[in-house]
Structure 1
Amino acid sequence: MSFQILTDSTADLPEQWLADNAVQVLGLTVQVDGMHFETVGAERLTSPVLLEKMAAGSQPTTSQINVGQFEEVFRNHAQNGEALLYIAFSSVLSGTYQSAVMARDIVIEEFPEAIIEIVDTLAASAGEGYLVMEAAEVRAAGGSLSEAKARVENLAPRLKTHFLVDDLNHLMRGGRISKASAVIGGVINIKPIISIQSDGSLGTAAKARGKKKAIAEFVRLGLNDLAESTVIVAYADDQEAAKAIKNEILKDPRVKQVLLFPLGPIIAAHVGSGTLALFTIGNKAR
């Protein structure tokens, strides 16, 4: 293996895939009901458990990976002479990326020859995971770290992310929308489709009344500009809806593969049960 790949738990990649592809993961943490939970490892908090707590009224918060955690991992790889590519959660949505940059500077000062590359994906959830998978594919084909990094940097601006949120109160609690918007939207059954903008911030791509119309618009937006034949659909609880969307997407002859992934606990904490997400690579930058 020519280099190591590191990502974080917001990438929402299956544990088996991570193990099979030798991708290392660091976890953000969730605080709920006065307790702190990890999102990686055997004792990790799972999304079904978290969503059940949220349905009962719990209001979780999340915390970034700190400098010390990155420093430990980076130093271990530097000591072993292993080049490292860290594919990071969006710097606009978390301080995790900045923690990694600070840790790299500390370790590089100690080990000037160390190779520690960091990519700010400006992505989240399986969109970030999509980019990790692409880097792993480059490595598996014998590509170098610089080639894998270039592949990620080429795809990241063209990664299209759309979230269909079922309950607006979670976005309101996280400061993503106003309280008035959440209340009015709930009363008149408005379903917003949230997208990640070119600068990494969240914006409303469209609104529809009722979930059926919203799903149709959600799929239309996702497939509007398609350059890669793989599409990822992620979900919080509603796997049946995700399967129905997969079947609809596969009717498009440009699509060869639709992967279904559950949303991990970090993202689920901010969007809640019933959320669906769609990740595609377009021809044009978002």
Structure 2
Amino acid sequence: MIGIVCDSGTDLPEELKNKENVRVVPLRVVLDDKSYRDGIEISEGELLSYMEEKIPKTSLPPQSEVEEAFVSLIEKGYSEIISINISSGLSGTYNLFRRAGESVMEKYPVKIAAIDSRSISIGSGLLIYKALQLIEKKKMAFEDIVAELKKVLKDRIGVYFAIPTLKFLKAGGRIGRVSATVGELLKIKPVISIDEDGIYYTVAKARGMNRAVKLVMEKVMNFVFNKSIEAIAVYISGDDPATKKYAEQIKEKLNELKPKMVLTGKLSSALLVHAGSGLVGVAVLIGDY
């Protein structure tokens, strides 16, 4: 049997989190030197209230906690495990889980493969969605599934998002190749994606969020042009009515493409720290060519 271990930054929807063969290890949100487990010990509202005046931080879970996630699957009879994490270009999460997997393999007769998704949020989550599909079909060997997932992450997953401010990405050192001097006073908003190295970069710029969201859709449509769509995800951060309206407009447009699966959700607290409220993003998993 094959299991999955991942971090909370993959933003898996509840129906995937709750699968018997999935374990999600929470990242940490740090407020005034006090650490909270993402999704368990701190709410979105509490975090957004804090962010009105201060800049929170994030940190990794202890390696022992990651190892416990692997062991909990092993004790259920899973002898092959795939670890999938948010981009190593944006976080130390992948390297932590890789080391934890290596440590567990020294103690147990199991196979653990670590995969750097080179993506973030539900972009990484869609790779897990694909992994679960392959596992459930029970037609591929463990090594073949790992090889297939590495092919998928190269060019079959696209992520595009717009955010009202770069303040938090800049403060957290997650700015990547996005210019931190994009004209805030001129209301210039970047449309951000993730490159082949798993690092943020700007794919377009627009004046105002309304136009930026339209550009997000344009980039998505270009990415999926003439291709089948296995899954599409629309994610937001915060509870602003305008943000929710943008998400609904995107979902209506994307439904016209007849994707096999549409997922919706919100950023985990660990990612909200770096994005702030008002993010509107789309992740796409396209089918075989």
State the TM bucket, normalised to the shorter chain. Answer: 0.7 to 0.9
Asked if 1 retains the 8 angstrom alpha-carbon contact of 2:5 and 2:69, the reply is: no
Q: CA deviation at 1:249?
A: 2.1
Q: How does 1:191-206 map to 2 (within 5 A)?
A: 191-206=189-204
Q: CA deviation at 1:208?
A: 0.6
Asked if 2 retains the 8 angstrom alpha-carbon contact of 1:250 and 1:256, the reply is: no
Q: How does 1:115-130 map to 2 (within 5 A)?
A: 115-130=111-126
Asked if 2 retains the 8 angstrom alpha-carbon contact of 1:81 and 1:114, the reply is: no
Aligned equivalent of 1:208: 206
Aligned equivalent of 1:152: 149
Aligned equivalent of 1:280: 284
CA distance in 1, matches of 2:72, 2:253: 46
Aligned equivalent of 1:139: 135
| 2:18 alignment partner, SS class | helix
Asked if 1 retains the 8 angstrom alpha-carbon contact of 2:236 and 2:265, the reply is: yes
Aligned equivalent of 2:25: 26
Q: CA deviation at 1:100?
A: 1.8
Asked if 2 retains the 8 angstrom alpha-carbon contact of 1:21 and 1:136, the reply is: no
Match of 2:105 among 105, 108, 113: 108
Aligned equivalent of 1:36: 35
Instruction: Tell me: CA distance 1:258–1:206, structure 2 relative to 1, closer, same or farther (3 Å).
Output: same
State which drifts further: 232-241 or 195-204: 232-241
| 1:185 alignment partner, SS class | coil
| 1:70 alignment partner, SS class | helix
CA-atom RMSD in angstroms: 2.5
CA distance in 2, matches of 1:15, 1:148: 23
Residue by residue, what CA displacement relative to the aligned partner does 1:227-269 show, whole Å, maximum 9, x if unpaired?
A: 4242111100232221111112223x36454321111111111
Matched, 1:166 2:164: yes
Match of 1:248 among 237, 247, 253: 253
CA distance in 1, matches of 2:173, 2:115: 26
The alignment-based identity, stated in percent, is: 29
Asked if 1 retains the 8 angstrom alpha-carbon contact of 2:235 and 2:266, the reply is: yes
Match of 1:67 among 60, 63, 69: 63
Asked if 1 retains the 8 angstrom alpha-carbon contact of 2:161 and 2:193, the reply is: yes
Q: CA deviation at 1:185?
A: 1.7
Aligned equivalent of 1:45: 42
Residue identity opposite 2:282 in structure 1 = L
CA distance in 1, matches of 2:64, 2:219: 40
Q: CA deviation at 1:121?
A: 0.7
Q: How does 1:213-232 map to 2 (within 5 A)?
A: 213-226=211-224, 227-232=228-233
Question: How many pairs align?
Answer: 277
Residue identity opposite 1:86 in structure 2 = S
TM-score by length of 2: 0.86
CA distance in 2, matches of 1:182, 1:263: 21
TM-score by length of 1: 0.87
Gaps of 5+ in 2: none
